[in-house]
Amino acid sequence: MHRSLPPIYRDCRRLLVHTEEMVRCFSRYHKYTLGTDLRQQAMAIMRTVHRLVFDKAQQKEHLNNLIWLVDDYKLSLQLGMELESNL
């Protein structure tokens, strides 16, 4: 039986793809510093969403973790935008 996945799962997969495309455009220095951080953060978000969807017993804990991971990712994006505007 195929279980349909919630929209957040699909959106996280898109976030991974968009993060990869965005990092490719970074300068060499930022690609290997901030870019690496963003890639790792996007993957952590995806893993946490996977756990959130499939681990019903720990769902509340996974949701709290997801909130912090998304906030961390947002902070990194803001830093990247600030760095870009200073170039």
**Which tens digit of pLDDT belongs to each residue from 34-61?**
999 999 999 999 999 999 999 999 999 9
Identify the pLDDT of residue 68.
Answer: 98
d(C-alpha 20, C-alpha 15), whole Å: 8
Q: Taking a C-beta distance cutoff of 8 angstroms, is the pair 81, 64 a contact? A: no
Q: Which helix (H) or strand (E) holds 35?
A: helix 34-54
> Which amino acid appears at position 39 of this protein?
R
24 HSE (CA, 13 A, CB side) = 6
- Residue 86 has a pLDDT of 66
Which pTM was predicted? 0.88
Q: Mean pLDDT score of the chain, rounded to an integer? A: 90
Residue 15's closest CA among 40, 37, 46, 36? 46
